[in-house]
Amino acid sequence: MTMQIADSVSLPAPDAKARAHAAAARDNLRTEPRAVRVVIIALAMIFLTVFVVLPLALVFAQAFSKGILAYFAALAEAEALSAIKLTLLVAAISVGLNLVFGLVAAWAIAKFEFRGKTFLITLIDLPFSVSPVISGLVFVLLFGAQGYFGSWLRDHDIQILFAVPGIALATTFVTFPFVARALIPLMQEQGTQEEEAAISLGASGLQTFFRVTLPNIKWGVLYGVLLCNARAMGEFGAVSVVSGHIRGDTNTMPLLVEILYNEYQFVAAFAIASLLAMLALITLIAKTVLENHLDEGHDASDH
Amino acid sequence: MTIEVKNLVKKFGSFAALDGVDLKVDNGELLALLGPSGSGKTTLLRIIAGLDWPDSGEVAFNGEDALAQGARERHVGFVFQHYALFRHMTVFENVAFGLRVQPRAIRKDEATIRARVKELLDLVQLDWLSDRYPSQLSGGQRQRIALARALAIEPRILLLDEPFGALDAKVRKELRRWLRSLHHEINVTSIFVTHDQEEALEVANRVVVMDKGRIEQIGSPDDVYETPATAFVHSFIGESIELPVHVESGVIRLGDRALRLAADGLAPGASRLFVRRHDMLVGPPGSGAFEGAVQHVRNFGPVQRAEVALSGGETIEIDAPRDRELRAGDRVGLEPRRYRIFAGA
C-alpha cells in the first residue's frame, strides 16, 4: 500500500497492515511440528548474529581495544575531524538538494498527468540501478581535466572534481531516489482533493502547500530525509572516484576508514567506523518510529 | 447569484465529457444535476467551481465572466464527494480554514473567526465535535463539517458533488431533508450532483438530466417524471416498460400486431414506446391494446408486480393494485393509461 512503485531495488516499505496480517496468518497456520519451528527460528537467529550483530560488535570492540582514551584521541586527530566535518557538510548539501528536488519530482508525478511520466518515474530510480562507481565516473567524464567542461572550468578557475562540489554532486546523484520514492506513493494515495478544497476556500498556492500538503506528507518527508542522510554519509563508491583522497581535505569518513585500515591504524579506522555504525543504529530506531507515524497517517485516511 | 453556462465543451482525450451544454440557474435555486456516471455532471460542477477548465464555452456569474477568475477568486463553496476534510486539522480548524487564509487586509480577528466557526458548527448541529479530527467522525458528520467549511467563506454559490453518495441509506434520507431545510434557511444558489433520481426529485427545485455530456431535459421534478422529453429521461427516471414499435401510416405496430393506440403526429419508422409500470391497467382479455399471459407474480406492499408475456413475444413487468389478485397463467388485456413514443430504435 505505501510503496506501490517500490520494486527490485526498492526501499523497505513501511507496512504495518501487512505485518498484522502476517501475525494473524501465523496464528492460524501453526501446524508445523514444534521442532521444525525451533530449528527455523534458531537458524534465522544464528545467521543474523553471525552476519550482522557480531561484525557490529567487533567494530566497537576494535575501536575500544586500546582503551577509551585512545578511542577519543583517534577521533580528535585533525584528519578525523576534517573527515567528519566534510561528511556532515556533504550530507547537509545533498540532503537539502534532494529534499527540494525530491519534493518537486514527487509533486509533479503524484498530482499532475503529463506525457513522459512513466519515463520520469523510471529515471528517478536510475541512481539505484547504476553502480555508484559509474555514477562517480560520470562526473569525472564531465568535469575532469579531460572531460567535457574540464578546460572551461580550468580557464575560469573553478574546482569541482577533487573538491567539495564534486563530492556533494556525486552524493546527491546517488541518494536522489530516497525522498522522491518515499513521497510519490504517499502523495498519490492522498490525491489532490484536499488541495482543491484549500484553493476553493481561497488559499493561495503557498498557503495550500504549507498548510495542507506539507503537514500531510511530513512523516514521509522525514522518512525520506533519514534514509537519504544515512546513505549520503555512508556513500563510498561514487565519492571515492571524485574525491581524489586528499588527506585532511577531501576524505569523507568512509574513505578515511579505508585509508587508515590500509595503514594498519586499526583503532583509528574502527573509531571512525564506530561513528558510522552508530549513525546506522540511530537511523534504524528513527526509521521504526517514523514508520509507525506513517502507518497512522494511512489509517486515518481510510474512510 | 445567477449562473449562466453557454455551449460548454470539455474533452478528455477523445472522450467528450461535456458536449455543448447550456444552462441557466436562477438566484437562490437548489438545482440537481442528475445522470448516470460518465454523463459529465461532475465535470460541469468542477468547471463552475474553477477546478477544471472547459475547452470552449462560457460560464458567467451574475453576467460576469467567471472563466476569467481562478477557483480562489470565485467564492464558490465546494463540497467534495469524499469530503476532502484536512485530515491533520481538527473540525474547528477545518471550518476556520477559509477565514484564516484570507488576505491580511480583510482577515477577521481571532475572536470574530472563533465566533463565526461556532455559529457554523451550530448551524450543522455539530459544535460538540469541534476538537475532534476528521478520522474520528462518521460519514454523515464529515459531510456536515465539509458543508460548514464551505459555508464559512460566505460563498456566492454552493456546489455539492454527490453529497450523499458515500453514506448509508438511512443517514442519506435524513441528510436530504436537512439539506433542503438548510438551503431554505441560507438561500444560496446551490447545485448538487447525483446519480440517484429519488434524491434529485426529493431535494431539488429543478432537475437537469444529463447523458453522455449533453443535457437531456431541464425541468421541475414533476416535469421530468411526468413528461420526459427524451427516451433516455423516460428510461432513466422512474421504472418504465420499454417496447420496440414501428409507426407506419397512422398505425403503431409491435412486431406484426397493430396496437390500438393513437398515432397522431408521430414520425413514421422504428420507435420506442414507454409506459410506467403502474400506468398499465389490467383487464379481461381483449380489453386493451396488449394481450398477454401472466407468468409470475410477487407482492410488494400495496402493489403486485406481475411478469406478463405479451403475445408479440416480449415479456414486461407491470405494477397492479392488489384489489384484483393476479395468478400465474391468467390471460389479461393491458391498456396503458398513459404512454409516450419516441422516434428512433
Compute the C-alpha angle A230/A236/A242, nearest 5°.
Answer: 120
Question: Which of B82, B150, B166 shows the shortest C-beta gap to A193?
Answer: B82
Reported confidence tier of residue A95, pLDDT bands at 50, 70, 90: very high
The pTM of the full predicted model, rounded to 2 decimals, is 0.79
Q: Residues B254-312: pLDDT tens digits?
A: 888 888 888 777 888 899 999 999 999 998 888 888 888 999 899 888 889 999 998 87
CA–chain centroid gap for A108, Å, is 22
Q: Residues A190-243: pLDDT tens digits?
A: 888 999 999 999 999 999 999 999 999 999 999 999 999 999 999 999 999 999
- pLDDT more than 70, % of chain B: 100
The cell numbers describing A135, all together, are 555514477
- pLDDT more than 90, % of chain A: 55
Q: Residues A112-126: pLDDT tens digits?
A: 888 888 898 899 989
- Mean pLDDT rounded to a whole number for chain B: 91
**How far is Cα B84 from Cα B143, in angstroms, rounded to an integer?**
10
The whole-number pLDDT of residue A5 equals 39
* Residue from B133, B129, B131 nearest B88 by CA: B133
Under a CB-based contact definition with an 8 Å cutoff, are residues B340 and B228 in contact? yes
The whole-number pLDDT of residue A161 equals 87
Q: What is the layout of strands, in order, in the sheet containing B257-259? A: B257-259, B251-254, B240-248, B269-276, B340-343
Run of H or E including B82: none
Q: Which of A20-34, B149-163, B194-208, B258-272 has the lowest mean pLDDT?
A: A20-34
Determine which of A194, A196, A201, A293 to mutate to test the interface with B (most B C-beta atoms within 10 Å).
A201
Q: Residues B79-117: pLDDT tens digits?
A: 999 999 999 999 999 999 999 999 999 999 999 999 999
The whole-number pLDDT of residue A2 equals 41
Run of H or E including B29: none
CB contact under 8 A, A300 and B135: yes
The whole-number pLDDT of residue B157 equals 94
* Residue B65 scores a pLDDT above 90: yes
Task: Encode burial over A80-114: b for 16+ CB neighbours within 10 A, e otherwise.
Answer: bebbbebbeebbebbbebbbeebbebbbebbeeee
CB contact under 8 A, B152 and A212: no
Q: Residues A136-150: pLDDT tens digits?
A: 999 999 888 888 888
* Residue from B209, B280, B267, B235 nearest B44 by CA: B209
Residues of B in contact with A203 (CB under 8 A): 72, 97, 101
CB contact under 8 A, A199 and B70: yes
* Residue A67 scores a pLDDT above 60: yes
- pLDDT more than 70, % of chain A: 87
Mean pLDDT along residues A2-17: 45
The whole-number pLDDT of residue A26 equals 58
ipTM for this prediction = 0.84
- Mean pLDDT rounded to a whole number for chain A: 86
Q: Is B105 left (phi over 0), alpha (psi -120 to 50) or beta?
A: alpha
Mean pLDDT along residues A280-291: 89
CB atoms within 10 A of CB B299: 10
* B121 bridge partner residues: none
* Residue B182 scores a pLDDT above 80: yes
Determine which of A200, A209, A295 to mutate to test the interface with B (most B C-beta atoms within 10 Å).
A200
Reported confidence tier of residue A12, pLDDT bands at 50, 70, 90: very low
Residues of A in contact with B50 (CB under 8 A): 200
Q: Which residues of A touch B (CB under 8 A)?
A: 193-194, 196-204, 207, 211-212, 215-216, 297, 299-301, 303
Reported confidence tier of residue B166, pLDDT bands at 50, 70, 90: confident
Question: Which of B72, B84, B133 shows the shortest C-beta gap to A194?
Answer: B84
* Residue A302 scores a pLDDT above 70: no
